[in-house]
Amino acid sequence: MDSIVLKELGNFYVRGHEVILHDQPKQKFVCQDGSEQTVDLNGQFEAGQMYVEYARLAEPRAKYPLLMWHGGGLTGVTWGSTPDGREGWQSLFLRFGHDVYVSDSVERGRSSWAMYPQIYRTHPEFTTKAACWSNFRMGPVFDEDHAKRVAYKGTQFPVEFYDEFCKQIVPRWRSMDDWAQAAYDDLVGRFDDGCVIMAHSQGANFAIPAALAHPDKVKALVLLEPARTPDLNTTDFSVIKHIPTLILWGDFIKVPELCAWTKAAYFDIYPKYYELMKGLGAPIDWIDLPERGITGNTHLLMMDRNSREVAQAVQDWMTSRGLMK
């Protein structure tokens, strides 16, 4: 396989601000081993920052850097190697010729998190394996007994590595999206010569507002099974009607047990968004992978066994929309 020839490998943080806590009582605990521990919550901390890592090619063939934004309960690891150890999209899109920027949303992974409820507004949510099984469309039946879990017939997800995938799950907050949005907006604002956003699932909830905030800087939106949009009735989307947009979906959506978020996104929110943007004359495309004969994809299509084929479909779309040199 060809080498990846990098000019630079690095990282930085966007946003973040100082928080000062005084007069918090010290927390004392007895550990399982009987030892005592005291935690002092007073002092100065940074909060609200977002971690961004980049790999820049010696000779990029794409016109713009590619920003990869993960979905809910996850981090930038989404774009890394697959749970069964195959090459991930971060690496694949470097091979396709893109400079790649992978971020961990505020509160997740290397972006750190802040104490609650003193700094963050609420407790975090701990996503269960059961919730992911449903929300990521692994199969019709989940059971705590691994042997009783039933995956979809023909699934492309390497289900024998489902628990390995679950190691990527991080606690998330449902109450701090405004901080995450501010960080994403700040990130996009740094690309004076433009960038392309590839957003998975919840990532799209931030990507469209970031494009609305920086319509001159976002050169394309690749929305992989996107979750939500800004309010379709009150938002003026005309400022982003020039931005090439791809909305892409996998398989197992037309099933009776479909989870609520996908049902709303696929059957209600995004058809309306697509029609609205079409009506504005936007260069927007809707791809159902099964209609192209690419079947078996779950919500984690960048980890599915045919992840390379799905990546190629996205890359072909980018080429068709003039995003390569």
Could you tell me whether strands 43-57 and 100-104 are parallel, antiparallel, or unpaired per DSSP bridges? antiparallel
**Per-residue contact string for residues 108-137; x = within reach of a second copy by CB under 8 A:** -xx-xxxx-x---xxxxxx-xxxx------
Q: Is the distance from CB of 208 to CB of 229 less than 8 angstroms?
A: yes
Which of residues 124 and 296 has its CB atom nearest to a second copy in the complex?
A: 124
Q: Rule CB under 8 A: is residue 175 a binding residue for a second copy? A: yes
Applying CB under 8 A, which part among 52-60, 150-158, 209-217, 231-239 lies near a second copy? 52-60
Concatenate the DSSP letters of all residues of 219-288 into one string: EEEEEES----S-TTT--GGGGTTS-EEEEE-SS-SSTT--HHHHHIIIIIHHHHHHHHHHTT--EEEEE
Q: Which of 62, 63, 104, 318 binds a second copy (CB under 8 A)?
A: 104
73 close to 127: Cβ distance less than 8 angstroms: yes
**91 lies in the binding site for a second copy (CB under 8 A):** yes
Q: Does 320 bind a second copy (CB under 8 A)?
A: no
Stretch that binds a second copy, among 161-169, 234-242, 265-273, 276-284 (CB under 8 A): 161-169
Question: Cα dihedral angle (291, 296, 301, 302), rounded to 10 degrees?
Answer: -110
Nearer to a second copy, 88 or 203 (CB): 88
Residue (14 or 282) nearer to a second copy, CB: 14
36-39/27-30 β-pairing: antiparallel
3 state SS of 179: helix
Q: Which stretch binds a second copy (CB under 8 A): 69-77, 232-240, 274-282, 284-292?
A: 69-77
Residue closer to a second copy by CB (options 1, 236) is 1
Does 168 contact a second copy by CB under 8 A? yes
144 touches a second copy by CB under 8 A: yes
